[in-house]
Structure 1
Amino acid sequence: MYNPSSFAIHDLDELQQQILATRLALVVTHGEQGLQASHLPLLLRGDEGPNGTLYGHFARANPQWKELHNGAEAMVIFAGADAYVSPGFYPSKAEHGKVVPTWNYIAVHAYGTAEVFSDAGRLLELVSGLTDRHEAARAQPWKVSDAPADYIDGMLKAIVGFALPIQRLEGKRKLGQNRSPADYAGVREVLGASPDAHDQALAHLMR
């Protein structure tokens, strides 16, 4: 992605934290069928490989997994907080009027080629890990083992898993670092006072 040096995130821990904070990733591939994309929840094992390894699964009926099986490179997009920035947020608008709208946001892109697998044991470990992660905050978390074993066995046959070692990782934190301190503070103040949860999340990051 276009990533000026003032916006680039280089710290691996910060990049991985954004991956962990993104509940639904976008997996993009290009192969014989052209561009394909799927929205998938993923697990990150940060200590596997230099940048970590992503784990997820496709429905077996989804042809995109075949592109991974054939060696296609994948780009995985982890979108963070974002907010529209109006020229009216800038104190400099009143001074000279030389301002235009923009968008502040955080994003991480991961790239790599994946190993595809259908082994029932690995798939069970994967879906159990995903379930435990997203059920953890519930008062009575549901577990894969709560469902009948034969039912789970049938569901596992309907999916294909993948492990994607991250070969390249890039992040962008566009929060208005290129603006004056007064303009930066003005945007942060307006977004922080907004009733919109997305605006508030972006303002929190700007602090």
Structure 2
Amino acid sequence: MYRPKAFVETDLAALDALIARDNFVTLVTVRDGEPVVNHLPVLYRREGDAIELRGHWARPNPQATYAGPATLVVHGPHAYVSPSWYPDKEAEARVPTWNYAVAHLRGILETFEDEASLAQLVDDLSRQHEARVGRDWRFESGRDDHRVQLRGIVGFYFRVETTTMKFKLNQNHPAANRLAVADELERQQRDASREIAALMRQRTPTEG
């Protein structure tokens, strides 16, 4: 990922926040020289610098037979930035851009298929997401009709070796421009635009 110095983010707390915001990720592997790409919900755990994610594929998914090096993309908010929002737009001949936050995790995939681990994974995922929508569906390991569904999936662990984050938030502009853009983004209807505005304010130095 192209990362000018101004946009490099290294604080793993920023990764925690990205995953907490949206744990639906893009998983990229390579088979026979061709990329294989899937989009999956994952569970995230970090202890210090050690990061592990869990998820699963449908068993017929070709990626479900893969173990080895992989890249996982965590998508953050993003928003268009109009050059008309910059106070110095004329003097500096400003042009349009896009602000965003994203993380690329590189590591090793390991698969698992034992019933106990798959049941725990499905239960953990459902507990997390059912709570978010105000419901209470649970995987019931005592029910044969629930357990049989586990035969249709393959689980994975993704153990992260390197983390690369890019938070492109106009850090290469003077503070006046950054705050003006944040003001405009806060007026937009998109939640992601307002999220970008909040990130920009967090990372814009204040005087005094």
TM-score (norm 2): 0.90
Cα distance in 2, alignment partners of residues 115 and 203 from structure 1: 38
On the 8 A contact 1:12/1:51 being kept in 2, the answer is no
How big is the shift at 1:113? Answer: 1.1
Cα distance in 2, alignment partners of residues 122 and 2 from structure 1: 37
Cα distance in 1, alignment partners of residues 25 and 55 from structure 2: 10
On the 8 A contact 1:75/1:112 being kept in 2, the answer is yes
Cα distance in 1, alignment partners of residues 176 and 12 from structure 2: 30
Task: For structure 2, list consecutive stretches of 5 or more residues without a partner in the other structure.
Answer: 202-208
1:86 aligns with 2:94: no
Task: For structure 1, list consecutive stretches of 5 or more residues without a partner in the other structure.
Answer: none
Per-residue CA distance 1:18-53 (angstroms, 9 max, x = gap): 223223100011122711111100001212x83310
2:19 maps to which residue?
19
On the 8 A contact 1:15/1:170 being kept in 2, the answer is no
2:171 maps to which residue?
177
Percent same amino acid at aligned positions?
Answer: 36
On the 8 A contact 2:23/2:43 being kept in 1, the answer is no
Match of 1:124 among 119, 125, 146: 119
TM-score (norm 1): 0.91
1:110 maps to which residue?
105
RMSD of aligned alpha carbons: 1.7
Q: Give the partner amino acid of 2:192.
A: H
Q: Give the partner amino acid of 2:27.
A: V
- Where in structure 1 do 4 or more consecutive aligned residues deviate above 4 Å? none
1:166 aligns with 2:160: yes
1:194 aligns with 2:183: no
Cα distance in 2, alignment partners of residues 6 and 119 from structure 1: 45
Cα distance in 2, alignment partners of residues 16 and 141 from structure 1: 25
How big is the shift at 1:156? Answer: 0.4
Cα distance in 2, alignment partners of residues 89 and 179 from structure 1: 12
On the 8 A contact 1:40/1:56 being kept in 2, the answer is yes
Cα distance in 2, alignment partners of residues 61 and 124 from structure 1: 19
Cα distance in 2, alignment partners of residues 100 and 21 from structure 1: 30
On the 8 A contact 2:82/2:95 being kept in 1, the answer is yes
Per-residue CA distance 1:117-162 (angstroms, 9 max, x = gap): 10010000011111111112344421112x9721222210000000
Aligned residues: 201
1:156 maps to which residue?
150
Q: Give the partner amino acid of 2:187.
A: A
Q: Which one has more relative contact order, counting CA pairs under 8 Å at least 6 apart?
A: 1
Cα distance in 2, alignment partners of residues 37 and 57 from structure 1: 14
1:101 maps to which residue?
96
Per-residue CA distance 1:60-101 (angstroms, 9 max, x = gap): 000012222xx2x1111111010001111111114x251111
Q: Give the partner amino acid of 1:37.
A: V
Cα distance in 1, alignment partners of residues 98 and 79 from structure 2: 6
